């Protein structure tokens, strides 16, 4: 296989709190090929957002640090680049869009000006050229009447339009990779579908690679080529979408699928995973999922299970994986 566009290896994020140092992202590894859409799936607190922030070296607080981990772009290590060189990666190689475009857009700057600012900063050029590019971008993301709308402020847009504007903003520097952090969670279903279609079109048209962060397996099933499931800051399972959805190995993946009304078998009761995700200061020993797991064996609480390959590109970290045939029913909660 050719060199992946992005290869993340052993990425770790630590937080310092009053109770000590905790790993909220613990040795996360995954790969992304050109034109691939990878779904990064997990419950809130699973470290999926933090892993992507760490990938851009944009941690929201000074208490957080990245003690180790490697990020290779086109086979070149970028994690040890000095800040001013790394900055050229942000926006230009890897763009990012967020769950809440209302707060991630500058409220007192016109949409067009924000996009033009990014264009000019990364590509230089005249003000006129940047304006033309801005209008072109707004058109690409499906904003009607782009010339007029580029003069609007973010609050004058609807939620869906704001997310489109945010995507246009991320595309302004023509990145190879787009990190989409739950971009559709705050939108209603029809708008959500439009945004997903737009992302797919962008992939097809420009060969954009996308890391799609979500807790919604339904969205993943529609959109992604491969899936990486995170739990408690660690990767549980990673593989191509079809294989992973058809035959999940990790009980957590299976449990997540059980929670999905559309994917679980019809007629059955909706299953939930008992218990709650662990908090950073109280991570279970061994496999972090074991207190909630229906497949628990003695080994699980003692040692962290290593990632094992079931197919060349399908890995899972479990001592007692779910069988080939069907997902093992998860415990029903009271």
Partner 1 sequence: MHRYRFVLYRPLQLLPVLFGISIITFVLVRSIPGDPARILLGTRATPAALERIREQFGLNDPLWMQYLYFLKNLFNGEMGRSILYKVDVIGLIFERLEPTIVLVFGSVLVALAITIPLATIAARNRGGFLDQAVRVISTGGLGMPAFWLGIMLIILFSVRLDLFPVSGYGQTFLEKLHHMVLPCVTIALSLSAVLTRSLRASLLAEMQSDAAMAARARGLPENVVFRRHVLPNSLIPTLNLLAVNIGWLISGTVVVESVFAIPGMGQLLIRAIFTRDYMVVQGVAMLFAVASVLVNFLADIMTVTLDPRVKL
- Report the interface residues with partner 1, using CB under 8 A: 56, 58, 60, 84, 87-92, 95-96, 98, 100, 103-109, 117-118, 121-122, 153-156, 166, 169-170, 172-173
- Of 172 and 198, the one with the shorter C-beta distance to partner 1 is 172
- Of 32 and 300, the one with the shorter C-beta distance to partner 1 is 32
- State the minimum distance, in angstroms, from the CB of residue 233 to partner 1: 21
Return the closest-CA partner of residue 182 out of 84, 98, 266, 67.
98
104/154 Cα distance (integer angstroms): 10
- State the minimum distance, in angstroms, from the CB of residue 294 to partner 1: 38
- Of 50 and 316, the one with the shorter C-beta distance to partner 1 is 50
The beta-strand segments (E) located in the chain are 6-17, 20-32, 37-41, 64-73, 76-77, 94-97, 177-181, 209-214, 226-231, 234-240, 308-311, 314-316
- State the minimum distance, in angstroms, from the CB of residue 111 to partner 1: 11
- State the minimum distance, in angstroms, from the CB of residue 29 to partner 1: 22
259/282 Cα distance (integer angstroms): 25
- Of 161 and 173, the one with the shorter C-beta distance to partner 1 is 173
121/115 Cα distance (integer angstroms): 10
> Cα–Cα–Cα angle for 45, 51, 55, nearest 5°?
160
Number of H helices and E strands in the chain, helices first, is: 11, 12
Please report where in the chains the tokens 């707004």 appear, as a residue: 138
- State the minimum distance, in angstroms, from the CB of residue 108 to partner 1: 5
- Of 101 and 232, the one with the shorter C-beta distance to partner 1 is 101
């Amino acid at each position: 296989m050719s060199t992946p566009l992005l290869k993340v290896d052993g990425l770790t994020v630590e937080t310092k709190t009053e109770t000590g140092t905790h790993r909220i992202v613990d040795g996360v590894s995954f790969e992304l090929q050109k034109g691939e859409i990878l779904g990064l799936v997990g419950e809130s607190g699973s470290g999926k957002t933090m892993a992507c922030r760490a990938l851009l070296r944009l941690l929201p607080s000074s208490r957080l640090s990245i003690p180790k981990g490697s990020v290779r772009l086109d086979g070149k290590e970028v994690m040890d680049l000095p800040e001013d060189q790394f900055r050229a990666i942000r926006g230009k190689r890897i763009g990012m869009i967020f769950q809440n475009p209302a707060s991630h857009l500058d409220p007192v700057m016109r949409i067009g000006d924000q996009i033009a600012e990014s264009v000019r900063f990364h590509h230089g050029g005249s003000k006129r050229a940047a304006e033309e590019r801005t209008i072109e971008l707004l058109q690409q993301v499906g904003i009607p009447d782009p010339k007029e709308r580029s003069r609007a402020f973010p609050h004058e847009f609807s939620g869906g339009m704001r997310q489109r504007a945010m995507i246009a903003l991320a595309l302004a520097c023509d990145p190879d990779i787009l990190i989409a952090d739950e971009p559709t969670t705050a939108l209603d279903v029809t708008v959500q579908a439009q945004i997903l279609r737009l992302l797919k079109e962008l992939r097809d048209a420009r060969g954009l690679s996308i890391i799609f962060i979500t807790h919604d397996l339904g969205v993943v099933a529609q959109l992604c080529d491969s899936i990486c499931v995170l739990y408690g800051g660690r990767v549980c399972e990673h593989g191509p979408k079809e294989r992973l959805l058809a035959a999940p190995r990790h009980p957590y993946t299976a449990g997540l699928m059980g929670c999905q009304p559309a994917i679980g078998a019809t007629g059955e009761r909706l299953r939930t995973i008992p218990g709650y995700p662990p908090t950073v200061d109280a991570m279970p020993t061994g496999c972090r999922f074991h207190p909630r797991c229906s497949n628990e064996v003695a080994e699980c609480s003692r040692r962290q299970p290593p990632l094992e390959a079931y197919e060349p590109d399908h890995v899972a970290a479990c001592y007692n994986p779910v069988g080939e045939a069907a997902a093992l029913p998860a415990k029903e909660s009271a």
